[in-house]
């Protein structure tokens, strides 16, 4: 199916802008955009913003022009649209307010760290591991914490770990987590002894930084030990999307494929199917989720979603 484009009627930055979308595949959309010189930074969760001077050339290249309402309807019916309420949760001001809420007082140092982290989550090559995934993981953690109250600073450690867990994301398994854990020490290390978390009067310690880095590393294989309730919280919050309703899961699968648009179809198919098979193996063994709430709310649906995607990837009709 072709990609779709509406007329350039949205003014900003001294020009007018069009929206470029696909009603079937974010992978198709990203591939088309890259093939025709639209930079990744133009991508905004479910569409590209393209300047007026590119409209005619993109139509000539195969983008189908639609009026704004028709394009919005096509995107909404595709299942790829990110609704406004999700966009608002993932907006920069909203995320920074959540980060600032983890710290006492008005010290600019932790705020600057939060700005750095949000910028990392907004890197243009990302499609799934975006600020939206960060917001979703933080929301999932809130759901778990409402049902399970860990002692001490565990909730703070878990929240901060989620902020860092994909802060470095170049698509390299294990290495991304290692780099993200190293980033914990780089950004939080200078705050030790002088900045106060929201969990009590004691200053941020080296032990706090070490614990956050440890939790980030756990997201490489999502296998916290049975005596690691904080690790279970972080792992379950990161994997919560697997237990989403099927439509939301399908959007996630599209996002993952588009994030690896540089990988050829056959290679992606094999690699992704292997990852999904590992998740199914985990689900049938110790389980994908380790908190009681995660098991109750997400485990059964996650296994069904993952199996369905794996079967599509390994079946004859895969695209």
pLDDT digit string, tens, across residues 251-300 = 999 999 999 999 999 999 999 999 999 999 989 888 999 999 999 999 99
Query: How are beta strands 48-51 and 64-65 bridged, if at all?
Result: unpaired
Mean pLDDT of 112-132: 97
Amino acid 107: pLDDT: 79
The mean pLDDT of the chain is 94
For residue 82, pLDDT over 80 is answered with yes
Mean pLDDT of 120-145: 97
For residue 319, pLDDT over 60 is answered with no
For residue 201, pLDDT over 90 is answered with no
Amino acid 143: pLDDT: 96
The Cα–Cα gap between 105 and 101 comes to 9
Mean pLDDT of 137-163: 93
**Strand, helix or coil at 82?**
coil
For residue 318, pLDDT over 90 is answered with no
The Cα–Cα gap between 280 and 236 comes to 15
Q: What is the pLDDT of residues 17-40, one digit of tens each?
A: 999 999 999 999 999 999 999 999
Amino acid 194: pLDDT: 85
For residue 172, pLDDT over 90 is answered with no
The Cα–Cα gap between 135 and 64 comes to 33
Which of the four pLDDT bands, split at 50, 70 and 90, describes residue 151?
confident
145: its two tokens: 């914490």
Which of the four pLDDT bands, split at 50, 70 and 90, describes residue 200?
low
Q: Phi/psi at 20 (nearest 5 deg)?
A: -110, 125
Mean pLDDT of 208-224: 95
Amino acid 195: pLDDT: 84
Amino acid 150: pLDDT: 81
């Amino acid at each position: 199916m072709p990609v779709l484009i509406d007329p350039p009627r949205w003014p900003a930055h001294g020009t007018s802008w069009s929206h470029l979308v696909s009603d079937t595949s974010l992978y198709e959309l990203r591939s088309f955009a890259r093939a025709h010189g639209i930079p990744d930074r133009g991508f905004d969760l479910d569409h590209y913003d393209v300047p007026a001077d590119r409209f005619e050339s993109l139509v000539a290249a195969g983008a189908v022009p639609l009026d704004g309402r028709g394009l919005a309807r096509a995107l909404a019916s595709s299942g790829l649209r990110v609704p406004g309420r999700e966009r608002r949760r993932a907006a920069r001001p909203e995320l920074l307010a959540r980060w600032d809420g983890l710290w006492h007082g008005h010290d600019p140092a932790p705020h600057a760290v939060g700005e750095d982290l949000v910028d990392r989550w907004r890197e243009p090559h990302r499609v799934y591991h975006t600020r939206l995934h960060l917001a979703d993981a933080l929301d999932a953690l809130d759901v778990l914490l409402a049902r399970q109250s860990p002692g001490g600073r565990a909730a703070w450690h878990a929240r901060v770990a989620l902020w860092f867990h994909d802060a470095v994301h170049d698509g390299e398994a294990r290495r991304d987590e290692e780099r993200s854990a190293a980033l914990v020490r780089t950004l939080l290390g200078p705050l030790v002894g002088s900045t106060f978390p929201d969990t009590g009067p004691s200053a941020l310690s080296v032990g706090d930084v070490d614990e956050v880095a440890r939790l980030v590393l756990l997201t490489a294989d999502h296998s916290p030990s049975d005596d690691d309730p904080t690790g279970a919280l972080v792992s379950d919050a990161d994997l919560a999307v697997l237990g989403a309703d099927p439509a939301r899961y399908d959007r996630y699968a599209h996002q993952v494929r588009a994030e690896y648009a540089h990988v050829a179809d056959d290679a992606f198919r094999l690699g992704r199917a292997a990852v999904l098979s590992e998740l199914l193996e985990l689900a049938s063994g110790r389980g994908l989720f380790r908190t009681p709430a995660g098991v109750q709310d997400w485990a059964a649906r996650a296994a069904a979603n993952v199996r369905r995607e794996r079967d599509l990837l390994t079946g004859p009709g895969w695209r």
